[in-house]
Amino acid sequence: HPPPVATDQEEQKRLLGNRPDQPQQPRVLRIAIIGAPNAGKSTLCNQLLGRKVFPVSKKVHTTRCKARGVITHEDTQLIILDTPGLTNPLKAKRHNLDEAMLTDPWDSMKHADLVLVLVDVSDHWTRNSLSKEVLKCLSQFPHIPSVLVLNKVDILKKKFLLLEIATDLTEGVVNGRKLEVKSSALKQDSRSSVKFPLHTTQASPPESKVPGSPFGQEKNQAQEGCGVDKSSDAGGAGTGEGPKHHAPKDLKDMRGWPHFQEIFMLAALRGEEVDTLKRYLLMQAKPGPWEFHSHVLTSQSPQEVCDNIIREKVLEYLPLEVPYGVTQVTHVWEEGQCGELLIVQSLLVPRESHKRMLIGRGGRVISRIAREAGQDLMNAFLCEVCLKLKVEVK
């Protein structure tokens, strides 16, 4: 079971400041998750962690700062760098975003051992090509191994489209081998519940596989089902050369990235196949000291976790751009007589009309936000939470 987030600010500071407890042979992997806004990065992080500590909503730019999630399993520690969605200065200005929103994903890449590129396959406008921001990010750090993760596959009714999407996003090359979509696979009935293989060949040599790992057993099936042409190597990956650095002019003509080592297909919101990805990540860890104590789940303070979860609900229940102008001020954070956590927070809005929207008819909207945020906070802190919200015009 994952540890809870400490409710006491000083206790969390102490945990983060303490020297990590080290097993005899520690292993570590730093993972950057990048993708377009609203691809499901925070949802995937929460599922991997096993506890909700990152905000999630249907609106873009729910995640506004980089935060670390920590998974400690036996002798291995995975450090997940949940980053804001890759965006551009024009969109950042429209959503009143901090300048850090533009630089944080790049900073996370600098510290990563592996990068997961998350793509929402339910969005038919964007699913067949990587955004220019994602391609630019990958081309700036070609030495960092990358993995393609197709998310929200449960929403896609025509499952055969997954093979076409995978081919487009990889430019037909995975792990240095040509990827061929077999015509027989494309003729499958779209209503069938057939599951396509989740990834292709492993980048590491066969002798380095973990005994009993499902990946070694699935390797041949994955090659067969995805139509990997085993005879032809294409590009640097798998040949020992490594991917080349692409110039900006090259990126204009690129829709996908031909240097992915693996492809995973999952539904993060429902938790489908997240464990398969988690096992793979644990296998990729390299010998090295842990960065966090095993009782740490996130680098965020308790206050940040609380603010983010409340803001998630505000984003969810207010229309259009309205929630992006809400400011949060915490007045009370203390332990109650029965050990419950008492939190009183004001939500400051710029206009009287926004206040009416946030309160709702008969106080329904603000009551729902407080109730749902309180339940999520109980899950994060593993204690009773009494949350009271007030709405004021600033």
In a domain, 221, yes or no: no
On whether both 281 and 310 belong to a single domain, the answer is: no
pLDDT value of residue 98: 47
Give 311-355 as a DSSP string. Answer: HHHHHHHS-TTGGGG-EEEEEEEEE-TTSPEEEEEEEEESSHHHH
Q: How far apart are CA 200 and CA 198, in angstroms?
A: 7
Residue 315 maps to which CATH number? Answer: 3.30.300.20
Structural domain for 81, as ranges: 9-181+253-287
| Model pLDDT for residues 235-262, shown as the tens digit of each residue | 444 444 556 666 655 777 889 999 999 9
On whether both 131 and 46 belong to a single domain, the answer is: yes
pLDDT value of residue 106: 64
On whether both 275 and 356 belong to a single domain, the answer is: no
pLDDT value of residue 182: 55
On whether both 263 and 335 belong to a single domain, the answer is: no
On whether both 369 and 313 belong to a single domain, the answer is: yes
In a domain, 378, yes or no: yes
Q: Tell me the pLDDT band of 321, cut-offs 50, 70 and 90.
A: confident
pLDDT value of residue 66: 65
pTM of the model as a whole = 0.80
In a domain, 209, yes or no: no
Q: What's the average model confidence in pLDDT over 279-300?
A: 96
pLDDT value of residue 242: 57
On whether both 19 and 47 belong to a single domain, the answer is: yes
Q: What's the average model confidence in pLDDT over 147-171?
A: 94
On whether both 69 and 155 belong to a single domain, the answer is: yes
Q: For 304, left (φ over 0), alpha (ψ -120 to 50), or beta? A: alpha
Residue 273 maps to which CATH number? Answer: 3.40.50.300
- The residue ranking higher by pLDDT, 160 or 70, is 70
List the one residue out of 284, 265, 105 whose CA is nearest residue 210. 284
pLDDT value of residue 209: 36
On whether both 385 and 268 belong to a single domain, the answer is: no
On whether both 21 and 52 belong to a single domain, the answer is: yes
On whether both 164 and 275 belong to a single domain, the answer is: yes
| Count: domains in the chain | 2
On whether both 14 and 132 belong to a single domain, the answer is: yes
Write down the mean pLDDT value for the chain. 80
pLDDT at 203 over 60: no
On whether both 161 and 275 belong to a single domain, the answer is: yes
pLDDT at 221 over 50: no
| Model pLDDT for residues 47-65, shown as the tens digit of each residue | 999 999 988 877 765 555 5
| Model pLDDT for residues 100-142, shown as the tens digit of each residue | 444 445 677 888 999 999 999 999 999 999 988 899 889 999 9
The 8-class DSSP code of residue 126 comes to: T
